[in-house]
C-alpha cells in the first residue's frame, strides 16, 4: 500500500477564520484558467480587453460555485438540505457537484454571450480547454479532505484513509487521484492540443462533454457511491454515471453536428 499523506484540510488557521485547502483549489482553478485564457485572448477576439476577460471569468466562476452547490443539493442530498437549509452555506466541507457547476457555467455563458455579442458555443469552445485546470485542482482538494475515496482493493497503490473519513480502515482505490489524472491532466491535454488548430464551432465543446463523460463514467466503477444514494440501478449504476450519459451522447452529437453542418471554421481558441 501507499501511505496516505495526512495533510491537514485547513491550510491556514487565523483563529478568526480558517482557510481550507479545498477553497484554495478553487482559487488555483480560477486563476489558472484566467492566465491561460489571457494567452489565447487575441486568437479568440482581438477586440476584447483583459477587463472583459476578467468579467467573463468572474461570472463563469459564479456559475461554477452556485451551480455546483445547488447541483449537489438537488442531485445528491436534497432531503438533508431541506431539513437543515443552513448546510448549503458550508461549502468548505465539500459537497459540490460537477454537473451542477457545468449547468451553472452554461447559463452564465449564455447570459454573458448575449450581453457581449458572442454565441453560446463561441464562449463554450473558448472556455472548455480551461476547465480541466479547475477539475484537477478540485480532485486534489477532495484527496486532501479524504473524501470521495474508492472501493476496497488489494492493488499496490491502495491507501487507507483516516478513521474520521473511513471507520472501516480498508485499503481503497485513491479514486480522487484517478480523477485528477483523467479529468484534470488527460482532459486538459486532449482539449488543449485539439483546440490549437482551427475547429468548427461546437467541436471543442463536444470533445469536452464526450471525454469528461467517459472518464467520469469509468472512474465511478471503482469509486464508492454517495452513502445517502447508493446505486441508482443494476447494482452498479451511480448518480455520477447517470448524469454523464447525456454528456457522452450530447458530446458525440455536437462533434457530428459541427463537422456535418455547414460550419464557419474559426481560428483556434
For residues 200 and 247, give the distance between their C-alpha atoms in angstroms, rounded to a whole number: 19
Please state the three-class secondary structure of 60-90 as a single string: HHHHHHHHHHHHHHHHHCHHHHHHCHHHHHC
Query: Is 139 marked as binding a ligand?
Result: yes
* Rounded-to-integer distance, Cα 233 and Cα 244, Å: 15
Q: Are 33 and 130 in contact (CB under 8 A)?
A: yes
**35 near 54, Cβ under 8 Å?**
no
CA–CA dist 83, 58 (Å, integer): 31
* Residue list, annotated binding site: 139
Amino acid at each position: 500500500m501507499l501511505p496516505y499523506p495526512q495533510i491537514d484540510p485547513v491550510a491556514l488557521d487565523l483563529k478568526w477564520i480558517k482557510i481550507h485547502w479545498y477553497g484554495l483549489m478553487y482559487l488555483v482553478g480560477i486563476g489558472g484558467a484566467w492566465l491561460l485564457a489571457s494567452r489565447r485572448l487575441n486568437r479568440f477576439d482581438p477586440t476584447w480587453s483583459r477587463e472583459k476577460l476578467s468579467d467573463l471569468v468572474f461570472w463563469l466562476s459564479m456559475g461554477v460555485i452556485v451551480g455546483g452547490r445547488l447541483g449537489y443539493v438537488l442531485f445528491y442530498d436534497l432531503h438533508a438540505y431541506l431539513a437543515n437549509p443552513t448546510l448549503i452555506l458550508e461549502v468548505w466541507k465539500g459537497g459540490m457537484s460537477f454537473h451542477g457547476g457545468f449547468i451553472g457555467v452554461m447559463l452564465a455563458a449564455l447570459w454573458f454571450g448575449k450581453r457581449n455579442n458572442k454565441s453560446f458555443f463561441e464562449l463554450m469552445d473558448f472556455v472548455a480547454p480551461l476547465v480541466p485546470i479547475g477539475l484537477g485542482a478540485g480532485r486534489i482538494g477532495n484527496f486532501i479532505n479524504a473524501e470521495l475515496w474508492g472501493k476496497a482493493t488489494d492493488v499496490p497503490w491502495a491507501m487507507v484513509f483516516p478513521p474520521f473519513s473511513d471507520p472501516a480502515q480498508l485499503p481503497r482505490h485513491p479514486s480522487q487521484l484517478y480523477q485528477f489524472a483523467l479529468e484534470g491532466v488527460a482532459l486538459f491535454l486532449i482539449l488543449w492540443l485539439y483546440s490549437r488548430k482551427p475547429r468548427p464551432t461546437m467541436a471543442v465543446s463536444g470533445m469536452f462533454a464526450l471525454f469528461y463523460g467517459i472518464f467520469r463514467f469509468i472512474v465511478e466503477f471503482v469509486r464508492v457511491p454517495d452513502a445517502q444514494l447508493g446505486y441508482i440501478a443494476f447494482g452498479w449504476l451511480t448518480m455520477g454515471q447517470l448524469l454523464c450519459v447525456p454528456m457522452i451522447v450530447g458530446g458525440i452529437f455536437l462533434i457530428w453536428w459541427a463537422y456535418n453542418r455547414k460550419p464557419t471554421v474559426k481560428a483556434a481558441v
